[in-house]
Amino acid sequence: MNIVLFGPPGAGKGTQAIKLAESFDYIHLSTGDIFRRNIKAKNKLGILAASYIDKGELVPDEVTIKMLEEEANKHPNAKGLIFDGFPRTIEQAEALDFFLSNHYNSKVDKMLSLEVEDDELIKRLVERGKTSGRSDDADADIIKNRIVEYNKKTAPLKNYYLNQGKCFEIKGVGSIVEIFQRLAAEVE
């Protein structure tokens, strides 16, 4: 079972992906987390990624796709994969389909789209910025740019999955437990 957890920055993808992975014994793959690990390690990939992340821009597809595939290949026998923050462009979605079908004879089974209004997203990200230590949560202009990038490059992906009958919209407001139950019902 391969699930894409989709939604704008601040929709709650990270929180819910962790809970879903725990509950269903799936592997959680978050490109944002992997970038942040590399940034902390101050390696070449981290330095490159930070130059985009710190502006609220997407890291180039080529770099992101290669990194994600390497990470996924560490879990060849996973019962299921939860993709959190990937794909974020049509090119990434096509690369993921190709990768899953060629290497694992599998596919994206469902795309769960967390639906949250822009005003609420900004409120959540500003609040998270007070404690997350994330440079891209700390500045209102960077937050706004992430939402602009999302609307321009990532939101069109919804149609990509809608056309394949794989997109399921989930209300992303309410308590963490309520949202989790809505998501879990779709995974089951």
Instruction: For CA atoms 16, 19, 24, 27, give the dihedral sign.
Output: positive
> What backbone torsions phi and psi does residue 101 show, to the nearest 5 degrees?
-75, -40
The catalytically annotated residue of 19, 36, 88, 124 is: 88
Helical (H) or strand (E) element with 81: strand 81-84
The rounded distance, in Å, linking the Cα atoms of 45 and 59 is 10
Nearer to ligand AMP, 140 or 188 (CB): 140
> What backbone torsions phi and psi does residue 74 show, to the nearest 5 degrees?
-75, -10
Is 128 annotated in the active site?
yes
Q: Is 160 in the site for ligand AMP (CB under 6 A)?
A: no
Nearer to ligand AMP, 156 or 185 (CB): 156
Which one among 7, 8, 9, 129 touches ligand AMP, defined by CB under 6 A?
9
- Within the chain, where are the H helices? 13-24, 31-40, 44-53, 61-72, 90-104, 118-129, 140-149, 157-162, 176-187
Which one among 24, 52, 99, 104 touches ligand AMP, defined by CB under 6 A?
52
The rounded distance, in Å, linking the Cα atoms of 41 and 38 is 5
Is 3 within 8 Å of 26 (Cβ atoms)?
Answer: yes
The catalytically annotated residue of 55, 128, 144, 166 is: 128
The window from 49-57, 100-108, 124-132, 161-169 that contacts ligand AMP (CB under 6 A) reads 49-57
Nearer to ligand AMP, 13 or 110 (CB): 13
Nearer to ligand AMP, 31 or 113 (CB): 31
Is 88 annotated in the active site?
yes
Residues 121-150 that bind ligand AMP (CB under 6 A): 136, 146
Is 50 within 8 Å of 39 (Cβ atoms)?
Answer: yes
Is 134 annotated in the active site?
yes
The catalytically annotated residue of 36, 110, 124, 146 is: 146
Please give the radius of gyration of the chain, using alpha carbons only, rounded to the nearest integer: 16
The window from 30-38, 39-47, 70-78, 113-121 that contacts ligand AMP (CB under 6 A) reads 30-38
Contact residues for ligand AMP, defined by CB under 6 A: 9, 31-32, 35, 52-53, 57-59, 64, 85-86, 88, 92, 136, 146
Residues identified as active-site: 13, 88, 128, 134, 146
